[in-house]
Copies of this chain bind each other. A is one copy, B any other.
Amino acid sequence: MIDDRNAVVLRPIGFIRSPFSDPAGMPIQPLGARGVRGAVEVLPEFFNGLADLEGFSRVILIYHFDRSEGFALRVVPFLDNCERGVFATRAPRRPNPIGLSVVRLLGVDGCRLSIEDVDILDGTPVLDIKPYVPSFDAYPDERNGWFGSRSTDAGTARADDRFSRATDRTEG
């Protein structure tokens, strides 16, 4: 039971299907999941909201990191070996455990979206789907802070279990 006037209460609109059932060993960004296929199974009640989506070659998925427990304000990201502020990382153990991935949309069949470049755990609850619109979303020349040249290492780096454990480094 929740009694909190500031709370924002969301409900899944669907669920991810992917080959990844264990956080350890999975790709850490769509960049590292090139060619990995999966799906979004949207709940039937939202079918009418999927019209016109097929014209987009990428979609933004917003989802709940449901297997992440607690959060830390400082984390050691997969691509680094020192602590960073969590809001300067894409780590899952965030104050609000919301994930964002820009995945390739292969097709829409009824309530099933076939997707590629999937870096998301099987069974993950999806909260929103938005069309990826380059003139809104693509800024290829921005400065990427501590990632520097490491961001392209996401193509080969793999996750370990650091963000599924709730015991270490939790603060705040």
Interface residues of A (CB under 8 A from B): 1-4, 6-13, 29-31, 45-58, 60, 62, 64, 66, 73-74, 83-90, 94-96, 98, 100, 102, 125, 127-147, 151-152, 154, 171-172
Contacts and interface: CB of A to CB of B under 8 A. Distances in A.
A87 B136 contact: no
Chain A interface mostly helix, strand, loop or mixed? mixed
Nearest to A132: B142
A4 B54 CA distance: 32
- A-B pairs, 8 with minimum CB distance: A55-B145, A51-B85, A52-B88, A48-B73, A49-B73, A57-B143, A138-B140, A87-B129
A47 to B, nearest CB: 8
Interface centre among A64, A102, A135 (most CB of B within 10 A): A135
A102 B54 CA distance: 23
A104 B154 CA distance: 24
Contacts of A83: 51
B144 A133 contact: yes
Contact of A100 (B10, B29, B62, B146): B62
Given A49-B87, A90-B133, A133-B147, 14 more contacts: A8-B66, A11-B95, A13-B96, A46-B172, A48-B85, A51-B74, A52-B89, A53-B87, A55-B143, A134-B142, A134-B151, A135-B151, A135-B152, A135-B154
